[in-house]
């Protein structure tokens, strides 16, 4: 009964952010936020921000991204991770893209991030059509939406108007969750950024696609959560653990799918895996055992469509973290995503 009530609660949230009007019995194929295009967000983001100044923006992003993913489908998941790292550090401001000594991009926590060249390629094409108009932050935000769609995930409309940061510090990259935190720590981190416990569970579902290195999960395979046990804590299915230990023997450079069952499909199987003790990351598996998050996991298992449609709503919320916008913000429109603009003397 508790799970059913939570499912209804989640559905009510989803339909206020993703469903069209009059869609009581079914979800629309492409959920869209029912907000008029002329209505501005509190931080001055709007859906029609580039309609006049760069009407071809979304077509450029879609075309370029489709070309890149066709050559390497793993880039789609990498872009999702890149966006999360950017937003969770100091807000969605493309500070992760700045490439200089001491930047977030050069930090140890960012060494496995990929997809920078995709954003650079899109930005170069956008600059040809709309010079000095579109921010790198907006490009990254729209690109991960299109990447999700290419993986079979939901479509959502992206409000635009973000500016790019002029500052990037390596120490800020340490603020991004590493996969070893407690659920309490994760909830506090998410709440400090305006996200809630539903966002935590749903955004963790991005691990339905993507991979991690064997080196990054050695602690998960050979010791407990506190380092005092030889068994994984939280537990792993015996057969799955045996497979992982054989694949990742000697901390090899191999990669492991985050979703052991349907790694190339954007679906809710990730949550069903947790029910079987097949959560690769400690933080993922703990979502199923913690009483604050397990009811949400169970609802997503019981009603798979909830994940698909709530994911779009949570991604919109993620992309709205501490954005730089408006005339009085310390941001700019970078002409090259790797560097701040040179000042004119």
pLDDT tens-digit series, residues 79-123? 999 999 999 999 999 999 999 999 999 999 999 999 999 999 999
Nearest to 168 by CA among 115, 108, 89: 89
Q: 305 and 325, same structural domain?
A: no
- Write out the binding residues for Ca(2+): 86, 91, 93, 95, 104, 208, 259, 262, 267
CATH code of residue 220 = 1.10.420.10
Q: 229 and 119, same structural domain?
A: no
Average pLDDT, the chain: 86
Q: 171 and 62, same structural domain?
A: yes
Q: What is the largest CA-CA distance in the chain?
A: 67
- Write out the binding residues: 86, 91, 93, 95, 104, 177, 207-208, 259, 262, 267
User: How many Å apart are CA 310 and CA 300, to the nearest integer?
Assistant: 10
- Write out the binding residues for substrate: 177
Place of tokens 């994760």: 186
Give catalytic residue positions: 85
Pairing of strands 164-165, 331-332: antiparallel
State which residues form the domain around 75. 56-176+321-332
Instruction: Work out how many domains the chain is built from and give that number.
Output: 2
Residue 9 maps to a domain = no
Task: Tell me the backbone φ, ψ of residue 18, rounded to 5 degrees.
Answer: -130, -25
Task: Please tell me the number of Cα atoms within 13 Å of 248 on its side-chain side.
Answer: 22
Q: 199 and 149, same structural domain?
A: no
> Over the stretch 154-196, which tens digit does the pLDDT of each residue have?
999 999 999 999 999 999 999 999 888 999 999 999 999 999 9
Q: 131 and 61, same structural domain?
A: yes
What's the predicted TM-score (pTM) here? Answer: 0.85
Whole-angstrom CA distances from 190 to 9, 85, 193, 331 are: 20, 13, 5, 24
For residue 143, the model assigns a pLDDT of 98
CATH code of residue 153 = 1.10.520.10
pLDDT at 72 over 80: yes
- Write out the binding residues for heme b: 207
């Amino acid at each position: 009964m508790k799970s059913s009530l939570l499912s209804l609660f989640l559905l009510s949230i989803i339909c206020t952010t993703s469903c069209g009007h009059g869609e009581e019995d079914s979800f629309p194929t492409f959920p869209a936020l029912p907000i008029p295009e002329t209505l501005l967000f509190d931080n001055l983001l709007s859906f029609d921000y580039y309609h006049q100044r760069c009407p071809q923006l979304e077509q450029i992003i879609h075309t370029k991204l489709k070309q890149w993913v066709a050559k390497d489908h793993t880039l789609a998941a990498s872009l999702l991770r890149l966006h999360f790292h950017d937003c969770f550090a100091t807000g969605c401001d493309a500070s992760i893209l700045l490439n200089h000594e001491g930047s977030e991009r050069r930090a140890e926590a960012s060494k496995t991030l990929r997809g920078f060249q995709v954003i650079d390629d899109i930005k170069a094409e956008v600059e040809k059509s709309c010079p000095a108009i579109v921010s790198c932050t907006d490009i990254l935000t729209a690109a991960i939406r299109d990447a999700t769609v290419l993986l079979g995930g939901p479509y959502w409309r992206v409000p635009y108007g973000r500016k790019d940061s002029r500052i990037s510090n390596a120490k800020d990259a340490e603020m991004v969750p590493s996969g070893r935190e407690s659920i309490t720590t994760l909830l506090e981190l998410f709440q400090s950024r305006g996200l809630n416990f539903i966002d935590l569970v749903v955004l963790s579902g991005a691990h339905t696609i993507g991979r991690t290195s064997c080196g990054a999960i050695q602690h998960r395979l050979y010791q407990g959560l506190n380092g005092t046990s030889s068994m994984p804590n939280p537990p792993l299915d015996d057969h799955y653990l045996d497979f992982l230990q054989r694949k990742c023997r000697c901390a090899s450079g191999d990669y492991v799918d985050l979703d052991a069952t349907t790694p190339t499909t954007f679906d809710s199987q990730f949550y069903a895996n947790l029910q079987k003790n097949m959560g690769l990351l400690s933080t993922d598996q703990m979502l199923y055992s913690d009483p604050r998050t397990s009811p949400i996991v169970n609802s997503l298992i019981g009603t798979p469509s909830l994940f698909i449609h709530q994911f779009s709503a949570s991604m919109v919320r993620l992309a709205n973290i501490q954005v730089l916008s408006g005339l009085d913000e310390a941001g700019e429109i970078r002409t090259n995503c790797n560097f701040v603009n040179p000042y004119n003397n």
